[in-house]
Amino acid sequence: MAEIERLVETSELIFDLFIHLIDEGFQSAHLFYDTEFDALMVLFVPPEVETIVHYTSDKNIAYLYRPDTMEVVGLQVEAFRKSFLPKHAALRAQWELAERTKPVSDYGDVINMYIERKSTITREIAREVDSKFQGGRSRDLVPA
30 in helix, strand or coil? strand
What residues contact 57, with CB distance under 8 A and at least 6 apart?
132, 133, 134
> pLDDT tens digit string along 72-93?
999 999 999 999 989 888 788 7
DSSP string, 54-66: EE-SSTTEEEEE-
CA dihedral 74, 75, 78, 82 (to 10 degrees): -120
> pLDDT tens digit string along 60-75?
888 999 999 999 999 9
pLDDT for the residue numbered 144: 42
Whole-model pTM: value is: 0.76
**Residue 80 CB: number of other CB atoms within 10 A?**
22
4 vs 117, which has greater pLDDT? Answer: 117
